[in-house]
Amino acid sequence: MRQHSLPVGAASSRDKTEKYDMKPLKGSRYLRKGRASLEGHYYLLTAAAHNKQRIFDQPGAAQVVLDSLAWLEKEKVIDLEAAVVMPDHVHFIARLRTGTLSGLMHSLKSFTSKKIRSLLNFPGQVWQAQYHDHAIRKDEVLAEVALYCLNNPVRAGLVEDFHEYPYWYCRYEV
């Protein structure tokens, strides 16, 4: 098993690019532009609940997402590095082992939608159609991105330390 150290306070790659105004363009068409699914590569993936509803703070819903990610790893579709399920979205870092990003996200969203709608007796749409992906091209950045992902509940003001948040996973000891 690979072990990556997770340096605390490491210099961010963003520090080197702060002078650039890099505002994302809105709309799913722009999210797909330049998307590549490369087996063996790492990605930070983000998917939001439909209309940013706080679906995943309902009992059991966040665990459905984490369990589904674990199943995808067990089936050798991905190598899951880290994940955090927020009340209205999910972030996870994975190495794509087989298939495409769109196939992975379709599988994850389709299964979890059915399971969550059944669990919560929820009649509506669970996920937004689009998702965001960011390729991670350097091993040394992987640890930094994992910490960014795991600290999402801290930045949202939900907890003071991500270890206190109940819905996270990390392959590494942190």
DSSP letter (8 states) at residue 15: G
CATH number of the domain to which 75 belongs: 3.30.70.1290
* Domain, as residue range, for 140: 30-170
Burial 94-133 (b: 16+ CB within 10 A, else e): bbbeeeebeebbebbbebbbebbbeebeeeeebbbeebbb
> Model's pTM, two decimal places?
0.78
The answer to whether residue 149 sits within a structural domain is yes
Q: Is there a domain that residue 10 lies in?
A: no
In this structure, the number of other CB atoms found within 10 A of the CB of residue 23 comes to 6
Q: Compute the distance between CA of residue 149 and CA of residue 142 in angstroms, rounded to an integer.
A: 10
Tally of structural domains, the chain: 1
pLDDT tens digits, the chain, 174 residues: what are they?
A: 333 333 333 333 333 333 334 444 454 444 444 446 667 789 999 999 999 999 999 889 999 999 999 999 999 999 999 999 999 999 999 999 999 999 999 999 999 999 999 999 999 899 999 999 999 988 778 999 999 999 999 999 999 999 999 999 999 887
Does residue 17 lie in a domain region? Answer: no
